[in-house]
Amino acid sequence: VDGRMATVAVNQFIFKQPVRVGDILSFFAEVTRIGNTSITVQVEVFAERFRAQGRYVKVTEASLTYVAIDEAGKPRPIPKDLPASGSQPG
């Protein structure tokens, strides 16, 4: 979505494991819902443990909702021609 987005809700935030100094974090996000003015995104965070290279554990998962806003900060429509999550361009 071109333009500004504002976070309007942290629907869920689960801390599953601690993150340790030296861990390498990988964030993965997927759009799970597109509404008229809002988008919901599911996020998963994995840590590669510092002293156990190659061992990944899920440390956090979250669901967040963003609203598209205009220059006055008011909600604006999201274009209906956005590709579905996971689809490939072309």
pLDDT at 3: 87
Question: Edge-to-edge strand order for the sheet containing 56-69?
Answer: 4-15, 56-69, 38-48, 24-34
pLDDT at 82: 65
pLDDT averaged per 10 residues, the chain (length 90) = 90 96 96 96 95 88 97 92 54
Q: Give Cβ neighbours of residue 86 (< 8 Å, ≥ 6 apart).
A: 30
Write the DSSP assignment of 7-74 as a string of letters. Answer: EEEEEEEEE-S---TT-EEEEEEEEEEE-SSEEEEEEEEEEE-TTSTT-EEEEEEEEEEEEEE-TTS-
Q: What is the homologous superfamily of the domain 4-69 according to CATH?
A: Hotdog Thioesterase (3.10.129.10)
